[in-house]
Amino acid sequence: MELLYLSRRDVESLNISYNEVINAVELSFKLKGEGKVQLPPKPGVNPRPNSFIHAMPAYVGEVDVVGVKWVSGYLGNPARGLPYINAILILNDPETGLPVAVMDATWITAVRTAAASAVAVKYMASPGAESLGIVGLGVQGRTHLLAIREVLRLRRVYVHDVIKQKVKAYIEEMSPQCPEAEIVPCEDYKCVTRNSDVVVTATYIVERPKRFIALKDLREEFLAIPVDYDAAFEEDVARAVDVFVVDDKEQYLVTKGKEKYFKGYPDIVEFDMGDVVAGRAGDLRVKARKMALLMGIASHDVVVAKLIYDKAIKRGVGVKLPL
């Protein structure tokens, strides 16, 4: 018996497009809404302050893929020259349970997170939305622009980071990759929030957040997409929106119940993105105040991992190791 090992270089060499990942994530949401996904809330440990390590198992029926991701986020890593997020993933044979692949999942996490936001934009952005705002210009700030441009006709992208050098570097790197839109540097986050139809916050997940974006900082109608838990948007935003959805209701409510995150955020969630994509929430592409709080779910990881695995087998990429 043997399994396939895929390094990050192997994964990236497959040149999987954002559209491919978005389509896989959208299908995963739909199957979840149809009750075909097994997705327990992710258990985790916190070995250091403002750190987490989560285990994320999932089974996605119809696609018939099962696996688990082991992912960490350490706030102090960038100062050490290390990535904030690191992850590996194991794919199993759904028939026998034997592992068939171990692969880097840092790339998967970066891209599938942005793809989930792109699906939310596709199903929830108001008609005529053409401006995107991004607060936090790290890995997620980059992948979100590349994913959302696939589903939204962008004219302007407003960007801000507390480290000013990051803003300049971001514009130099991303402008050639998004030539259809003007990338506008912002001195503060309010320039982003007050000019954007869609606002993505991609700061760090912390245990005691100093939330800074209030309802008064946003447009009359907006789509807010926090991928940093409750680190950015104040509770008045989450409670005032006309539509509040999450990627997984159970995971959000279990996490909120532990009273570490989401204090003051809604206690009741009517719909999650599975309901939205499966058509159970009605048409949400209307002018309104909306929030899609996306914590990240394992079903997205495993469907993207299957996409990677299938292409790697076809192209002979990776190293086979004995069990």
- pLDDT value at residue 115: 98
Q: Where are the beta strands (DSSP E) in 34-84?
A: 37-38, 44-45, 51-60, 65-74
Per the structure, the complete domain to which residue 97 belongs is given by: 2-108+299-322
pLDDT digits (tens, 9 = 90+) for 215-251: 999 999 999 999 999 999 999 999 999 999 999 999 9
* Domain shared by 304 and 288, yes or no: no
Q: Is residue 113 part of a domain?
A: no
* Domain shared by 150 and 266, yes or no: yes
Q: What is the CATH number of the domain that holds 212?
A: 3.40.50.720
* Domain shared by 156 and 272, yes or no: yes
Active-site residue among 69, 256, 290, 306? 69
Range 87-101 average pLDDT: 97
Q: Is residue 116 part of a domain?
A: no
pTM: 0.95
Domain tally, the chain: 2
Beta carbons within 8 Å of 41's beta carbon, 6+ residues apart: 248, 250, 251, 254, 255
* Domain shared by 129 and 232, yes or no: yes
pLDDT for 193 beyond 90: yes
Confidence band, pLDDT 50/70/90 cuts, at residue 21: very high
- pLDDT value at residue 256: 94
- The reply to whether 69 belongs to the active site is yes
* Domain shared by 169 and 290, yes or no: yes
Q: Is residue 250 part of a domain?
A: yes
Range 110-131 average pLDDT: 97
3-state secondary structure at position 170:
helix
* Domain shared by 278 and 188, yes or no: yes
Q: Is residue 263 part of a domain?
A: yes
pLDDT for 259 beyond 90: no
Q: What is the CATH number of the domain that holds 61?
A: 3.30.1780.10
Over the chain, what is the mean pLDDT?
Answer: 96
Range 26-52 average pLDDT: 94
pLDDT for 323 beyond 90: no
